[in-house]
Amino acid sequence: MNMAETIRIAWRAVKANLLRSTLTMLGMIIGVAALIAMVAVGSGAQGQIDEQIRSLGANLLMIQPGSANQGGVRLGTGSRQNLSEEDAAAIASEVPEVIVAAPTISRATQIVHANANWSTLAGGITPAYLVARDWRVEAGRGFTLDEVETAAKVVLVGATVVDNLFEGEDPLGQLVRIANVPFTIVGVLSRKGQNAGSGRDQDDVVLIPLSTAKLRVLGSNKVSRSAVDFLMVKVVSDDAIVSAQEQIRRLLRQRHRLASDAPDDFQIRKPSETMEARAAATRSFTFLLAAIASVSLVVGGISIMNIMLVSVTERTREIGLRQALGARRRDIRNQFLVEATMLCLLGGLLGVIVGTFVAVGVGKLAEWPIWVSPASIALGFVFSGAIGVFFGFYPAHKAALLDPIEALRYE
């Protein structure tokens, strides 16, 4: 008996008991659907985290001032004003692994356009900041070095600021007031989305030249003319980060004239570390969910084995008749094995469809990102076929071992 004939007979047997076949496939449908849905949600979350890591900027280090003491009270990280533009220039020129080092200051401020106003974060930057953050100017242009040196009153605005102040109007060339100082918008930044580490909207920002920020907007008696809030350092590659971090540490200690036994008066952090840890946890959680869903597949396989054993018992006379007409043992074995595998694959197909709809529904209701990958669909089919072969083999082998005379006499 060839395989095509075997498949035809198996399909006819499945259709002959349609209700029982459907109930038999139910465990497989639920198992594959759960596997597809869980992996889709996990993959979507992983993709979102990866995108957020990319939005920070690749191979990025953040250097913050240390903690200041005031009357014996430690004021916390960043309270010390001991990082400067000169530190940034020294890092960029003396550490070979560094591409750019961007000095930055930032404060919350109010921005006004015509009769509209918006509270946002204003950052004083140099052109190196956009390079460090891998941040594109979507419309218009960035700052020139001449504008930074002359403290020009020009500004780059984030997408959230544009949405709240201009409502479809072209912002380029428009005048806005930041801390009562008029600025001309020369560029609109591309969208970055939410920062997973702090939860802050990265597009709710305006960027002005660092010199302008110090002299005209963000300067006060609390802001030193040379000090900056932090340095953003872009390294050539992820592999070079550890080496660059140690070289920067030694350089800053030397520049700040720290004794060998004195602690660092600054902190060097990798902003993506928190999200990378979160990504690892998400991957582990996705694998756990997939493992739990796989248990349903095993349960479905056991139910298929039980039903196939019942089917062998019910069709004992049929088996005996086939053997009497010349069917070999392997033909009988293949017939029941193909039937079990067919039930599993059909259940897997329906499970993929149900799982995809469930994943999309969960994503819309909970506003979660989902991604139904071809790999998860292929995995569902492979699992289904493997379970059909594994759990269908024993009933098929038992049918093949039946004695034809005893099978024909079976009532």
What are the sequence ranges of the domains in the chain?
3-53+276-409, 81-264
Cβ pair 172, 188 in contact under 8 A:
yes
Please state the three-class secondary structure of 234-274 as a single string: EECCHHHHHHHHHHHHHHHHHHCCCCCCCCCCEEEECCHHH
Cβ pair 153, 216 in contact under 8 A:
yes
Low pLDDT (below 70) residues in the chain: 1-2, 44-58, 67-80, 195-199, 219-225, 271-286, 289-290, 293, 366-368, 407, 409-411
pLDDT of 268 reads: 86
pLDDT of 224 reads: 57
pLDDT of 247 reads: 92
Cβ pair 287, 276 in contact under 8 A:
no
- Report the C-alpha gap between 375 and 382 in whole angstroms: 10
pLDDT of 80 reads: 60
- Report the C-alpha gap between 44 and 368 in whole angstroms: 8
User: Per residue in 115-147, pLDDT tens?
Assistant: 889 999 999 999 999 988 888 899 999 998 888
- Report the C-alpha gap between 15 and 20 in whole angstroms: 9
pLDDT of 199 reads: 60
pLDDT of 188 reads: 94
Dihedral sign, Cα of residue 213, residue 214, residue 217, residue 223: positive
pLDDT of 281 reads: 62
